[in-house]
Chain A
Amino acid sequence: EDQVTQSPEALRLQEGESSSLNCSYTVSGLRGLFWYRQDPGKGPEFLFTLYSAGEEKEKERLKATLTKKESFLHITAPKPEDSATYLCAVGVQETSGSRLTFGEGTQLTVNP
């Protein structure tokens, strides 16, 4: 059974204070590690998919990295608008789409 654990549960940063979120996983075979951002009252917004150890992807102030056992979401010089819950998930890829197992998320608050 796939398992995904995220840490910390909550993180408070000052604007401009860089940090990292962790996602560790136990799967029978990695088929995709997904990162999402979720704002209150909204559905998750897709950020990245990583497939192999050593892979990195970037989007604005966010960079996701992957090892064989965990993934990190690095946030560089965050702004208050980066405040959200960040979710990671591992995916079983189907012919059209992926069945995802999610972690519990990290709630990020960036204070001005």
Chain B
Amino acid sequence: SAVISQKPSRDICQRGTSLTIQCQVDSQVTMMFWYRQQPGQSLTLIATANQGSEATYESGFVIDKFPISRPNLTFSTLTVSNMSPEDSSIYLCSVGPSDTQYFGPGTRLTVL
């Protein structure tokens, strides 16, 4: 199974600022997925990140708010821009293969 690490593990930020979350995988993967888990709720897919191309965003999520980079096959970043308290969530990255799906430990974000 893939080993996934995320940085930071948690952060407390002021509204209006931005935070970049890093996801590192111990093997090369074509696709990486970013999810959000709001307090007390389940996971919602934000976007799919492919190396060498623009990320594909799900309905309700836009690039200006959640820009994603995918510079190589083991690394991706998700930025949460111009944060508001409603962005307080756990953000998780995830990788395949397609018959399994592994998740990182998550980044717990609190916006004041």
What is the interface of chain A, defined by CB distance below 8 A to chain B?
Answer: 32, 34, 36, 41-46, 49, 87, 89, 91, 93-105
Candidates B4, B43, B96, B106; contact of A97 at CB < 8 Å = B96
> Residue B77 at the A interface, CB < 8 A?
no
Contacts of A97 in B (CB 8 A): 29-33, 94-98, 101
Identity of the chain A residue whose Cβ is nearest the Cβ of B108 in the assembled complex: A41
**B contact residues, range:** 20 to 34
A-B contact pairs, 24 of them (CB 8 A): A32-B98, A42-B106, A43-B4, A43-B103, A43-B106, A44-B103, A46-B1, A46-B101, A46-B102, A91-B98, A93-B98, A93-B99, A94-B98, A95-B30, A95-B31, A96-B31, A96-B96, A96-B98, A97-B29, A97-B97, A100-B45, A100-B94, A104-B41, A105-B42
A66–B107 Cα gap in the complex (Å)? 32
Candidates A49, A95, A99; contact of B99 at CB < 8 Å = A49
